[in-house]
Structures are given as C-alpha cells and as structure tokens.
Structure 1
Amino acid sequence: MTARSLLFTGPGDVMVRESAVPDPGAGEVQVRTAVSAISAGTELLIYRGQVPQSMAADETIDALDGDFEYPSKYGYAAVGRVTAVGEDVDTDWLDQRVFAFNPHESHFLTKPEHLHRVPDPVSDAAAALLANAETAVNFLLDGGPAIGERVTVFGQGIVGLLTTALLAQFPLETLLTVDDYTQRRELSLSLGADYALAPDEDIHNYFESIEPDGVDLAYELSGNPSALNDAIHSTGTAGRVIVGSWYGTKPTELDLGGEFHRSRIRLQSSQVSTIDPEDRGRWTKERRLSEAWRLLGQLDTSSLITHRIPVECAADAYRLLDDSPADTLGVLLTY
C-alpha cells in the first residue's frame, strides 16, 4: 500500500507525493485517513502565496511544526481509523474512528493523546468540520453575545455559517449576516439568521433605514480586508468588533477618521490557537472541543459540504475554491 501526502509547492501549485506507509513506533498509532477538510481561508492564502513564509504554521499543533516556506504540508482536519498501534499503546485504539489536527495525507503516525475519538452520531464528513466548529465556539467566547443584542456576521463560509448557527441559539434581538454569494446567504437564513444581505447597497440601505444606531456586536469572518471597514461602520457606540479573519499579506486599509474616533468601539482579534486569558480559569481546549462536538451532533451539516474530491485530484479542489467561490463551500478530500 502506498501513502499519499499533499504538498504546497508554490503559488498556485500543489502536488501529491507517494511514499511507503509508515509503521508505528513505540507509543505511536497509525491512522488511515477517510476524509480531510480543506480550510478554505488559510489554505487559499497558502495556495496563493499570500502568507509570510517565515511565520510558524501553528506552534500549538505538533503535526504543523514547520513554517509556510514551500514545499510544505498543511491541513488540520483529518478523520480516519486507527489501523495499527505500536508498543506501549492500548489495543483498544485499534479500529477507533478518530479526528486529528493533521495535514492532508492518507496515512500518518501520531500519539494517542493527539487524537480525538469521533462520537457515534457524528458522520465522518461532519467530524471533519471539528476545527471549524471549535473556531466558531471560540468566536462566541470572545464576542460574548448577550440577550437582546443586535449581531452581524460578515462572511458566510464554513466558519461563518457555524458561527451563525451558534448565535441563533441565543435570545438576540436581531441576527444579520452579510456575504457576496446567494447560496451562502440562503444557508445562513436556514441556520437561523433573521436577515441576510449582500455587501453593497443592501447593507448600506439596511443600516440607514432599519438600524441607524448600529449593532452591538459584529464579526468579520470574510477574509476580505475591506469588510473590516464595513464591520466597524455597522457597529454602534461602545460596540464590539471581533476579527476572526486572517488576511495574510493582503493589505488592510482602515477608515478610522470618522465616527470611530468617538465611538469607543472595541476591536479585538480572535484566533482558535489560544483561549482569552479572561476565560482560561474556566475554559480549556478540551471543554471548547466538547462544545464543538455538541454543535456538530445537533446540526445537519450536509448542506455545508458541496464537493468531495479524491486526494489525487487535489489541484482541482484548490482551483475550484479559488475560481468558483459562488458555487463552492465545504470541500473534502477523500482517500
């Protein structure tokens, strides 16, 4: 049997490298991947060459211990089964269905403590969204939505839609979503949004006629730097703007010369690698992951997955995400 690994080899280029299937050493397990989810936001930045190559990929994930210099492996949403265990590993792990924060590859070795058992009611496809769901949980922890608040979510990719689904469980006054693409706006309404607008005349007319005082909380999750200005401008006095997007090397030009100067708006970055210091006394990564599993267990995620593509055709997957965002949402690589 041959193992296959996805490599980013340069801007606009990916390749699949074959190698021998590795045998587990002492304290390790071998996992055979069934599906892995492409994280469109971060991975398209890598694919386009829009990340600082000397920056660490993610120091909190052992499988991503390098930087973004080409060629590089990346990915952090693999679902599969344990197919072999090394010495000193409980044989109870054999044939367990697991999630791992691991790059796109058909077989990999890891330690049991880096694996997360997939609950029985959660399908492989839904489990592949665990990292996205955990990110959505983190956004709500950082934003702290409260009863009766008006909330806007800019960007309805996978993470934006999962964030919308979580926010819809709160007794908000209004939940508004903003996205370029009709399909994503319609999905956000099905997940509980009250209004779904396009980021042009729709949003400007809405805030002029319906919410002239702005919202209490805005999330910028679109990956588009210009949307951050819209998020700031839509937020009322003393409101909060949570920036979950990573723009990579794309320049961000902010208009802070108008109402922002007197607005006391709080602008905060949010990223899932860490938990806000204010929450660390009560929240751990394990607790946050358990909330993500709960979300995936109660939500029908089938509409979030639009394409399943064999890993051998990975180049097609990235071209599709890059060229056809209006028709593409969640993309799974299959093995």
Structure 2
Amino acid sequence: MTDEPPARALWIEGQGKCALVAEEIAAPADGEVLIRARYGGISRGTESLVLSGGVPEDQFTAMKCPYQAGEFSFPVKYGYCVVGTVEAGPERLLGRTIFCLHPHQSEFIVREADVHEIPDGVPPGRAILAANMETALNIVWDAGLLPGDRVAVFGAGVVGLLTAHIASRVPGAEVTLVDINPQRREISAQLGIGFAMPPDLPRECDLLINCSASEAALSEALACAGVEARVVEASWYGDRAVNLKLGGAFHARRLSIVSSQVGTILSSRSRRWTPARRMAKALELLKDARLDLLISGETRFGALAEAYAEIIASPATLCHRIVY
C-alpha cells in the first residue's frame, strides 16, 4: 500500500472537452525507462487542431504522435513535449533529466531509445521547446537557406520565431518576421530579428517561409517573392481548404512552393542525420537564454483540464508550460 498518487494523463474526450484520467503504470521492461514528468509544453498550433476535431480522417495515421492512445475521432490522449526525470531503467540514465515525445502525463514508460538527455546549459523548463526547435531546424534545412539571403518568415508563433532565430544566425541573412499581431514586434526585437506587419512587407525576397497556417500569408509570400524565389509552406491546415491564386507573376517569376514536415529528414541529409542526432542539435540550440521569451505562461498539471481550451484559444499563447 502506498500514498503515491496514481499517474494521470490529459485526455481530449470530445471537441473542446478535456479530463485528467488515471493511468496504470507497470514496471519498465528491458530497454524501457520510467519517467516522472517535471515540465510539459503545449504546442498551440497542432493541439488546437486536435482539440477542435480538425484532423481529417485520411490523416489520422500521419498525425499520430508517439505513445498516443485513442483516436482523433475522440477520445484521444495527445501531446508531444515532456521533460522529466528517469526513475527506473538502465543505471546510466537513473536520475537524469531528459526530453521525450509523449502526451501530457505525469508518469509513463517509454523506450530507452526515445529519451534524449538535456545538455548542460539548457534549463529543464526551457527544454520543452525542443520539439518546436527540431521542427524549425528541419524547416531551415528544407528551405535551403544560404548566406546573404533575404528571408521573410510569416507567423510569429513558436515555430516561426524559432525558424527566424535559426535563420538570423546564418551569415549575412536578412531576416524579417511577419505577423498581424503588433505585440510580436517586441519579442522579435529582443531576439534581434526584424519585424513587419503586412503593409510593410519586404520585397524581392529570396526565401519565404510560411509558419502561420494562413492562406492570406501564403498569398502575401508569393507577392513578395523575387525571381526564382522559394516559398516553403511549413504550416499544416488540417481539414481546411486553401485557395491560392497562381496567376499573375507566379509563372513569370518561376516561383517554387515546397512543403516542410518534421516527420521526414531531407533526403540529401538523411544518410548522415538520424532523428536522434537532429534532436540532440535542437536541444543544443536551446542554450540561448533569450528563448525563455517564448514561454508565455504556465499552469499546474492538476488544473490543466479546466484551463486547456482557454490556453489553446488565446492568441497570446506561444509555448505554454505545464508544471507537474
């Protein structure tokens, strides 16, 4: 008999409806580790689609997150940003602070291969940004960014901010964040990145990256593109259709539109870069203390079910931290 509280997980039981549900946790088998969660992160863009029931049925398999339970037709246990402590498993990992992809849950078992040790210099509370940083790194790879490029990143959410942050470190790159929310100007400035609202967009860009999930932004990207520029669509629209005018200068300027999705590493890099190596690099990139600006608030796990829908709905939310 123990006074230890049972493990609990956040389940989305229906459109806009959540609950914390008790979970049975067995002892880890060989090759597995038991994790006690310390912090989690809410990825507003993807999780808002899940909460609203906006994942199309033909994408249920592609959108499934590691260790997900249930289905997107509800109920579903979803989420993918957890920092925790190894409580049981191989001796070399005991007591280590790790990042892993797992739904929002206070205690859980994962495969040893799925945990990533957090490097020195990265506070555990900031490490919840690792999945978003990994996505941003993959976007920059897919974009083919080169020194000196004029770059516009549309959407100053977490992924857009991190993408612009990485891009701005390329020598000579002229990077501008574009967003309709003027409050994002300040955080952009603190990260040392230029900012523009739609009336003042940069022109003749070499590279344009859309992280906004907005078809208007994608159209604006095409309008700002220089000859033979590359437009990278990094958003995911769920079941929403996108109307795009491909007349005008689209053909005359020989523009390219390519997609970026973190589930696949660019083929020209995949022989050298495994997902584990990519995640290790993403964690290393989180050593910059300015990235704490992307944590827009926090909530105790015990109150998450009641607060989740409001957190998701708020346009002020960047990465919302869960404290276990």
Query: Would you call these one fold, judging by a TM-score over 0.5?
Result: yes
Partner of 1:111: 111
Q: What corresponds to 2:146 in structure 1?
A: 146
- Residues 227-254 of structure 1: CA deviation (Å, up to 9, x unaligned): 1111111111100011110110122110
Q: TM-score, normalised by structure 1?
A: 0.89
Evaluate the alpha carbon distance shift between residue 95 and residue 57 of structure 1 in structure 2; reply closer, same or farther with a 3 A threshold: farther
Equivalent pairs, count: 320
* C-alpha distance in 2 between matches for 1:28 and 1:103: 17
Query: Cα distance 1:53–1:333, how it changes in 2: closer, same or farther (>3 A)?
Result: farther
User: Letter of the aligned partner of 1:170 in structure 2?
Assistant: V
Q: Which moved more, 1:310-319 or 1:174-183?
A: 310-319
Query: Residue in 2 aligned with 1:222?
Result: 212
Counterpart mapping for 1:110-189 below 5 A? 110-189=110-189
Contact 2:69/2:76 (<8 A) preserved = no
- Which consecutive residues of structure 1, in runs of 5 or more, have no partner in the other structure? none
1:257 paired to 2:247: yes
Distance 1:16 1:104, change over 3 A: same
Moved more, 131-140 or 179-188: 179-188
How far did residue 64 of structure 1 move? 3.4
Q: Give the structure 1 partner of residue 261 of structure 2.
A: 271
- The yes-or-no answer on 1:311 pairing with 2:319 is no
Q: Identify the residue that residue 33 of structure 2 maps to in structure 1.
A: 29
Q: Distance in 1 between matches of 2:82 and 2:262?
A: 17
Q: Please tell me whether the aligned partners of residues 54 and 69 of structure 1 are also in contact (alpha carbons under 8 angstroms).
A: no
3-state DSSP class of the match of 2:77?
coil
CA positional deviation for 1:193: 1.6
CA shift digits 1:120-146 (9 cap, x unpaired): 321112111111111111111111211
Amino acid at match of 2:208: A
The C-alpha deviation readout for 1:280-312, integer Å capped at 9, x for no partner, is 233322332232122101343221111111223
TM-score, normalised by the number of residues in structure 2: 0.92
Question: Which of residues 5, 8, 16 in structure 1 aligns to 2:9?
Answer: 5
Contact kept? 1:59, 1:65, Cα under 8 Å: no
Bigger drift between 269-278 and 174-183 goes to 174-183
Moved over 6 A (4+): none
Partner in structure 2 of residue 69 of structure 1: 73
Retained in 2: the 8 A contact 1:100–1:115?
yes
Q: Distance in 1 between matches of 2:231 and 2:69?
A: 31
- In the alignment, the residues of structure 2 paired with residue 72 and residue 66 of structure 1 have an alpha-carbon distance, to the nearest angstrom, of 4
**Mapped partners of 1:274, 1:39: distance in 2:** 19
Q: Relative to structure 1, is the Cα distance of residues 113 and 162 closer, same or farther in structure 2, using a 3 angstrom cutoff?
A: same
Distance 1:60 1:44 in 2: 15
Equivalent residues of 1:237, 1:264 under 8 A apart: yes
Q: Is the 8 A contact 1:168 1:191 kept in 2?
A: no
- Counterpart CA distance in 1 for 2:63 and 2:238 is 17
Cα offset for 1:159? 0.9
Aligned pairs (5 A) from 1:9-88: 9-58=13-62, 62-64=66-68, 67-85=71-89
1:274–1:60 CA distance, 2 compared to 1 (3 A): farther
The Cα RMSD (Å) is 2.0
User: What is the rounded CA distance, in whole Å, between the counterparts of 2:323 and 2:25 in structure 1?
Assistant: 17
Tell me which moved more, 216-225 or 46-55.
46-55
Give 1:70 deviation, angstroms.
Answer: 0.7
C-alpha distance in 2 between matches for 1:173 and 1:109: 43
Percent of pairs with identical residues: 37
Give the Cα–Cα distance (whole angstroms) in 2 for the partners of residues 60 and 322 of structure 1.
Answer: 19
SS in 1 for 2:161: helix
What's the secondary structure of 1:333's corresponding residue?
strand
Whether contact under 8 Å (2:69, 2:77) holds in the other structure is no
Distance 1:63 1:152, change over 3 A: same
CA contact (8 A) 1:82 1:97 kept: yes
Give the 3-state SS of the residue equivalent to 1:42 in structure 2.
helix
What secondary structure is seen at the aligned counterpart in 2 of 1:253?
coil
The unaligned stretches of length 5 or more in structure 2 are: none
Whichever residue aligns with residue 285 of structure 2, its letter is L
Give, in whole Å, the separation in 1 of the partners of 2:249 and 2:103: 44
The whole-number CA distance in structure 2 between the counterparts of 1:314 and 1:57 is 26
The 10-residue stretch of structure 1 (309-318 or 287-296) with the greater mean CA deviation from structure 2: 309-318
CA change 1:317–1:251 in 2 (3 A) is: farther
308-317 or 154-163: which moved more? 308-317
CA distance in 1, matches of 2:25, 2:235: 36
Letter in 2 for 1:298: D
